[in-house]
Amino acid sequence: MIRKFCFSLTLLVLFQCKPQKKVLSSDDYLDLVRTEFTGDLAYETTAFVEKYWRVAGNTGFNESVYWIEKHLKKAGYVLESDANPSDVLTYRIEKRPLKNPTWEPVSASLKIVGQDVPILVSETNRNMTYLNSVSTPRDGITAEVVFITNLEDLKATSLTGKIVFAEQSIWPFYKELLAKGVLGIITYNNPSYLQPEKNITSIQFRSLPPQLESKLWGIALSFDAKEKLKASLEKGENKVHVNIKTKIYASEELTIIADIKGSKMPKERIVFSAHIQEPGANDNATGVGAQLEMASIAANLITNNKIALDRSMTFLWGDEIISTRRYITDDEKRAADIKWGISLDMVGENTAITGGSFLIEKMPDPSAIWTRGKDKHSEWGGDVLALEDMKPHYLNDFIIYNFKKQGAFANWEVNTNPFEGGSDHMPFLDADIPGLLLWHFTDQFYHTDNDRIDKVSKETLKNVGVGALASGLQLVNSNSKTASGILENLVATSNKRLSNEFELSKAAIKEGANIADEKAIILAWEDWYKKAFESVSDMSYGEDKKLQEEINNAKTAMALNVKNILLELEK
């Protein structure tokens, strides 16, 4: 029987005689940022941004950009076109014509004919109007509602001049709807994790394609409104009055980018990204707010000579995935020098209300292939990955280590999930840049019009902001000594992982699992961590023989431990 302490003994000895030199630690950076980060600006920004229904190019999106600009200037950032070569703090607003018109809701109501009170009004259900919906005539429109349950019903029913109601997504029916000449659609399909029978007024926002040639409108229902509409249809009351006002107009896409220039290697950088679009508070006004306070505090630390940066730090706000991907793909030389990317998306939840948990979504590691033990996906879910999808790197364990420290300090719960995708960390990973996601899930108000400021916690914003900025500062100032310390932490976490995977495999084999399959899991983790060990060398300013020796020793010790584990599994 291999005991757990055996896995770490060899590796522990490797570091006992290592000379200790003064270098700022995770604790040093966390302490520095904690004294500055109040959460006030993050919360104030969240409250401002969440007032608007935001999509690229519309009023709310652009007002959010100008709010960010105002506070960047207040913190000392200089417009890039006006900056001198000596200016360390700069920002710019990139403007591009939108391919399609932008959109914003103005007002909407849905009323069953014969009833006095509307079942939905936009003043209390601002997600009721489908994104890209056109307006109805000025005084609204009255028409018959036809309940459709499948595509065959749709094809067999005359729908010209009528409204289609469905309890599912309309995307499988969309082309058929246009061909049928329907006036508009009314749908309900809130997923179960929103607890719709409890949150009966919640509406998860829905969208149509841009109505460039067609003139379709759509209304999404809450559980309560859906029940009322179905009850009326059962009684033969099958007409509704719909009044929708929206704005659809040509505009431009804005992206705002702030830079803090490093003094030694200014081209190398970390990039923080937070998307502005989405209509909610947590999603993603909180990411906008937390990142703005991070940028402001970093500027204050520089201005007050409390810290200097060796590499550059970039903060980007824009359209989800699109702006981040463009930042990477538009300039190959710039992209080659991005060393780390971190996405802030839904980072301020009051989890006592939302029911969610703060999560660090890891870069792809073997837990995204074999999800077992304490690893678990969120209700968002993720595809099962393959070995060729793995992204071995120290960033996973480094960020987890720092955030766990902040969690212990603030009595704040920090969890992780295997890779799932779907936010601004994707463009980094697609470009083979280390990148991960800071977020919350599961959230019973996700993408609904109940995702408002009352679900946001200033303390959570502060905790996420402290962890993210402290980690960023440590990375941009990292060197061989930092790499050595991170390697030591990787050794500890890899030992713990191997020990846990050994116990899980041993139990699985006892229950009849194939030994070869269980060995494959252990070998995948060995390969992942050996490559993660190697990745720490990117923090050194050049070839460092001492650091490489430490990496080689760590890999050798891991190979020995894995050999013993595999032998033990055969017993």
**What order do you get walking across the sheet with 163-166 strand by strand?**
120-121, 102-112, 239-249, 141-147, 163-166, 184-187, 217-220
* Residues 526/559, Cβ–Cβ less than 8 Å: yes
* Per-residue pLDDT at 468: 98
Q: Is the pLDDT of residue 12 over 50?
A: no
Pairing type for strands 311-318 and 252-260 reads antiparallel
- The mean pLDDT value for 481-486 works out to 96
Per this entry, what is the length of the chain?
571
In Å, how far are 384, 391, 498, 558, 562 from 519, measured between CA atoms? 18, 20, 11, 15, 10
DSSP 411-446: T---EEE-----STTHHHHHTT--EEEEEEE--TTT
Going from N- to C-terminal start, the domains of the chain cover 4-8+480-569, 24-98+252-476, 104-248
**CATH fold of 104-248:** Glucose Oxidase; domain 1 (3.50.30)
- The mean pLDDT value for 77-104 works out to 97
Q: Is the pLDDT of residue 10 over 70?
A: no
- The mean pLDDT value for 192-200 works out to 96
- CATH number of the structural domain 24-98+252-476: 3.40.630.10
Task: Indicate the pTM of the whole model.
Answer: 0.94
Question: How confident is the model over 409-448, as pLDDT tens digits?
Answer: 999 999 999 999 999 999 999 999 999 999 999 899 999 9
* Per-residue pLDDT at 155: 86
Question: How confident is the model over 546-568, as pLDDT tens digits?
Answer: 999 999 999 999 999 999 999 99
Rounded distance between C-alpha atoms, residue 137 and residue 561, angstroms = 73
Rounded distance between C-alpha atoms, residue 18 and residue 374, angstroms = 33
Percentage of the residues of the chain whose pLDDT score is greater than 70: 96
Residues 6+ away with beta carbon under 8 Å from 472: 270, 272, 294, 298, 313, 340, 342
* Per-residue pLDDT at 475: 98
Residue 400: name the closest of 441, 371, 373, 437 by CA. Answer: 437
Q: Is 540 or 17 the better-scoring residue by pLDDT?
A: 540
* Cβ neighbours of 296 (radius 10 Å): 23
* Per-residue pLDDT at 3: 39
Question: How confident is the model over 216-272, as pLDDT tens digits?
Answer: 999 999 999 999 999 999 999 999 999 999 999 999 999 999 999 999 999 999 999
| Amino acid (1-letter code) at residue 449 | D
* Per-residue pLDDT at 22: 55
- The mean pLDDT value for 130-149 works out to 96
* Per-residue pLDDT at 150: 86
Q: Is the pLDDT of residue 510 over 50?
A: yes
* Per-residue pLDDT at 9: 39
* Cβ neighbours of 549 (radius 10 Å): 11
Question: How confident is the model over 151-180, as pLDDT tens digits?
Answer: 888 888 999 999 999 999 988 889 999 999
Two structure tokens written together for 179 = 């061909």
Alpha helix segments (H runs only) across 75-156? 151-156
Using DSSP's 3-state secondary structure scheme, residue 82 falls into helix
Q: Which residue has the tokens 């417009």?
A: 79
* Cβ neighbours of 95 (radius 10 Å): 11
